[in-house]
Chain A
Amino acid sequence: MREVPDLIACEECDAVYRRLTLGRSEVAFCRRCGAELERDRRAQRKHVLPLAIAGLCMYLIAHVFPILELELRSGLFSHATLIGSVRSLRGEGMLFVALLVLATTILFPLIQLLALIYLLTFPIRFRRFGHPTTFNLSGRLIQVLRPWVMVEVFLLGVIVAFVKLTSMATVLPGIALWAFGALAFLLTAVFSFDPRCLYISRYGYKKQGK
């Protein structure tokens, strides 16, 4: 098995191209099917680590504090955290749905953020000693989990629930709602970053100047 340098295949139609030397934020497309082949992400890369750490802070706030608070005229009061809601789903016998919500809004975002922070810190500083298997697994985990991280969909769900509830009670947005908004924004920014470029830098493969 040999590596073919300087060529790239389209993921969606298998067409092979010579790699272009991309300028800042330029994108290379497939001539046949129009899929994106490569994107220059040097501009984003600098900010990824601080954004990921900020995301982790927002994550903690989002899961500790209530998302919505409900106040009834009779003085009754209720509030919900995400974990609490998942727990009441399980209590209602909806184990599958509870697990799905747990995975897409609680577990997977955390795994992604931690894997990304690991990728960006440990292996670069200790590259010679970094454990290749853990490095590879984290990189692949980030890509495999990407479609299953649904924080921004959850945020839209909160808005829908909010409107639904205003007809029956006074609804107040909790601190966690703002934290979720920030988290959704940070996750989008952070995952415009492609872990592929780490493989390139790890193996000293330089496409510039070729």
Chain B
Amino acid sequence: MPANRTVQPASQSPGSGVPVKTAAKLGMVSCPHCATLWEDVKAHDRCRRCGAGLHLRKPDSLRRTWALVIAAYIMYVPANILPVMITVPFLGKEQQDTIMSGIIYFWNSGSWGLALIVFTASFLVPLFKLAVLTQLLIAVQDHSKRHLLLRAKLYRVVAVIGRWSMLDVFVVTLMTGLIQIKGFATVHPGEGIAAFAAVVVLTMLASISFDPRLMWDVTEHEPGRSHESRRGG
């Protein structure tokens, strides 16, 4: 083993897609929390430095991510159809707002900047996340070797932007808390906001449970030995 252990030093400029040796190939497992590398890891071993469970790849990554993504697609429909906020004025008709009507309201009232921010956070980001995660999952299952660098970047983007979709949940929370004024108006949260919050949580969980190393595993040529058979070994 010492012979094939010679590895390159890390780079001080971002990657250029060059081939390298992987920890899996060298029989090593990296701790997900403290990044210590371990050799001869047996099943159910824990990191001796920080106590985190050691796995060659995130356990059951593809199936878990698929389940979360599909659940998010299902919740996406009520999240966009059902009202997220119901305003009941003292005099006059009650007004129901969906995610989209809230954005249109901002646009029409001249707050274009805010309309764009809310449109991005509440509409584009969830849709982009679902599309990217689905694409990443399909590519891994197809053993695709195309656009690996692009996919690595997309995964990073999805992991970072996911939380910003919570924006509308916080807006509805504040409006509900602030406008409970008898003799003026009351604001009530609609079912849509619960579905929308579920979409945000499910897509965040999905991007956490997806293991980006699976994308790169297909570039390893190991005839007759898939990484599945070495899991936990």
Main DSSP-derived SS at the A contact region:
mixed
Q: What separation, in Å, do the CA atoms of A37 and B14 have in the docked complex? A: 10
The residue on B at minimum CB distance from A6 is B37
- Assess whether A140 is interfacial by the CB under 8 Å rule: yes
Q: How large is the interface on A (under 10, 10 to 19, 20 to 34, 35 or more residues)?
A: 35 or more
Q: What separation, in Å, do the CA atoms of A74 and B193 have in the docked complex? A: 31
Main DSSP-derived SS at the B contact region:
mixed
Residues in B with CB closer than 8 Å to A154 are: 166, 170
Q: Does A161 lie within 8 Å of B39, measured CB to CB? A: no
Q: Does B152 lie within 8 Å of A4, measured CB to CB? A: no
- Assess whether B141 is interfacial by the CB under 8 Å rule: no
- Assess whether A41 is interfacial by the CB under 8 Å rule: no
Given A133-B51, A139-B50, A147-B162, decide whether A161 and B178 contact each other with a Cβ distance below 8 A.
Answer: yes
Residues in A with CB closer than 8 Å to B24 are: 14
Q: Give 1 or 0 for each of A143-177: 1 = CB within 8 Å of chain B CB.
A: 10001101001101111110111011000000000
Q: Does B38 lie within 8 Å of A32, measured CB to CB? A: no
The residue on B at minimum CB distance from A100 is B197
How many B residues face the partner with a CB closer than 8 A? 89
Residues in A with CB closer than 8 Å to B178 are: 68, 70, 78-80, 85, 161, 165
Q: What separation, in Å, do the CA atoms of A60 and B73 have in the docked complex? A: 38
Residues in B with CB closer than 8 Å to A20 are: 9-10, 12
**What are 23 A-B interface contacts by the 8 Å CB criterion?**
A1-B40, A2-B38, A7-B7, A9-B23, A12-B213, A16-B22, A17-B20, A19-B9, A19-B10, A26-B12, A29-B14, A76-B181, A78-B178, A80-B178, A87-B177, A97-B189, A101-B173, A139-B50, A140-B33, A140-B52, A158-B174, A160-B118, A161-B175
Binding site for B on A (CB under 8 A): 1-4, 7-9, 11-20, 26-35, 37-38, 67-68, 70, 72, 74, 76, 78-82, 84-89, 92, 94, 96-97, 100-101, 104-105, 132-133, 136-137, 139-140, 143, 147-148, 150, 153-154, 156-161, 163-165, 167-168, 196, 199, 203
